[in-house]
Amino acid sequence: MANGLDLVWPNEGVTRVPYQLYTRADVYAEERERIFMGAVWNYLCLEAEIAAPGDWRATFVGDVPVVVARDMDGSLNAFENRCAHRGALICHKPCGNGARVSCVYHGWTYDLKGNLTAVTFQRGINGQGGMPADFKLADHKRRSLRVSSYAGMVFGTFSGEAPPLETYLGPEICARIERVMKKPIKILGYNSQILPSNWKLYAENVKDPYHASLLHAFFTTFRLNRLSAEGGIIIDDSGANHVSYSKAATDRVSAEYDKADLRVKREGFHLADPSIIQGRDEFGDGITLQILAVFPCFIVQQIQNSLCVRQLVPRGLTETELLWTYFGFQDDDAEMLNLRIKQSNLVGPGGYISMEDGAVGGFVQRATPGAGRDNEVIEMGGREWKSQQTRATESPLRGFWKTYREHMQL
């Protein structure tokens, strides 16, 4: 193929996905260059996390460490978090503030644009040692990213070929981002977890509305989300980005669902504190769940009144870190703030809803080494990638793999 991989995509197209994509080191290396370092926009952080001049945050583009910063003039910058000297992390803490950042190894110092500004003992000591006379600080600027923000979310790309961020997102996805990010936010907390699986398995999971009320017993037991409830799928024109949304199940829909012979049916269970699932309709549209995913590794979540962004960070071929950032709005009253904090228990590593998502990717990863040239079958809801008025579909997955194939030239 054009990318040098001896991997032929099945003739059926995006309804078949080779299991080899989760187990081959050469595929993972190619993804780093063609996707994460390529013409995509990668989520870096929320603007609220670098609100003041001098604020910086350590983050990632794929598995490449990056620093994103608000310079002293208020501009946003990002650069590779790797010292020009011996390759150590420049910023090894998660965040900080200051006009300069320094590598702890030998003290080489950089400004918030990634320019090397000082080398410890550059002229040596007592006329001995030091760097050669022709050494120039300007030659060692860190590799920088193009940076753009939308609705308080900061994205970066190493590529000059990526389209403008708003174009990359598309109008329908922008509208759904604005729905959630409708006013100034306040960071409430963080979580992280290690997933025992390739990064694409979680990316698939997020784009799979079919599993939501089958895998997650909490959803169906307490009628938060059932596949038969009103909702649908929005997919942008490129196929890369999508939104899955639903409203609370009505009594009629719940009764119909209860008739089905499903493993996830639970009788006799109750919540000691039912307020955890009793939310406010703060967006005025009755939507109780919206999951929005931007290719390749970014998710915005609204589940009841729990608001969160998730960032996927590949940690090798068979391991991925999932970073959760929970937030509310600056004008939240005390009752809403307490509700958001309480409902944050629905999600995260041990969340009542999402802990299963942290496990199922590992189940797939453990099953794939012997798969050989076998493929996934992704035909629920048809063979196309398009918006649909149902969540009994795998259309967003097909859009993901269409985009993946384009970047990987498969």
Least confident range of 120-129, 274-283, 317-326: 274-283
At residue 278 the predicted structure's pLDDT band, cuts being 50, 70 and 90, is confident
Mean pLDDT of 373-382: 95
The pLDDT assigned to 279 comes to 85
- The rounded radius of gyration (Å) of the Cα atoms in the chain is 23
Tally helices (H) and strands (E) across the chain: 10, 19
- The CATH code of the domain at 42-149 is 2.102.10.10
Least confident range of 6-10, 84-88, 347-351, 378-382: 347-351
Domain with CATH 3.90.380.10 in the chain: 171-408
pLDDT at 147 over 60: yes
d(CA 164, CA 171): 12
Mapped onto helix, strand or coil, the DSSP state of residue 148 is strand
Instruction: Judge contact between 366 and 201, C-beta under 8 A.
Output: no
The sheet carrying 242-247 orders its strands as 185-195, 320-329, 306-314, 298-303, 287-294, 242-247, 231-235
Least confident range of 121-130, 153-162, 211-220: 211-220
Return all residues near 165 (Cβ < 8 A) that are at least 6 apart: 41, 148, 149, 150, 155
d(CA 79, CA 342): 36
pLDDT at 175 over 90: yes
Q: Which residue type does 171 have?
A: P
* Percentage with pLDDT > 90 across the chain: 80
The pLDDT assigned to 226 comes to 60
Tokens at 1, concatenated: 């193929």
Model confidence pLDDT, tens digit, residues 258-276? 555 554 455 667 778 877 8
**Average of per-residue pLDDT values in the chain:** 92
Mean pLDDT of 177-186: 97
At residue 212 the predicted structure's pLDDT band, cuts being 50, 70 and 90, is confident
The neighbour count for residue 193, using CB atoms within 10 Å, is: 16
Least confident range of 22-26, 123-127, 246-250: 246-250
10 Å CB burial of residue 272 (0-12, 13-18, 19+) is exposed
pLDDT at 31 over 70: yes
The pLDDT assigned to 399 comes to 98
The pLDDT assigned to 222 comes to 67
The pLDDT assigned to 270 comes to 74
Q: Which CATH number fits domain 171-408: 3.90.380.10, 3.40.190.10, 3.20.19.10, 3.40.309.10?
A: 3.90.380.10
pLDDT at 211 over 80: no
Q: DSSP 3-state helix, strand, coil percentages of the chain (rounded to 5)?
A: 30, 25, 45
The pLDDT assigned to 242 comes to 97
The pLDDT assigned to 353 comes to 84
The pLDDT assigned to 181 comes to 97
The neighbour count for residue 105, using CB atoms within 10 Å, is: 14
Q: Which residue type does 344 have?
A: S
Domain with CATH 2.102.10.10 in the chain: 42-149
Helix H or strand E encompassing 186: strand 185-195
d(CA 156, CA 41): 6
- Secondary structure (DSSP) of 308-359: EEEEEEE-STT-EEEEEEEEEETT--HHHHHHHHHHGGGSSTT-TTGGGHHH
pLDDT at 76 over 90: yes
Instruction: Judge contact between 374 and 19, C-beta under 8 A.
Output: yes
d(CA 338, CA 343): 9
This prediction has a pTM of 0.93
Mean pLDDT of 62-89: 98
- Phi and psi at residue 178, to the nearest 5°: -65, -30
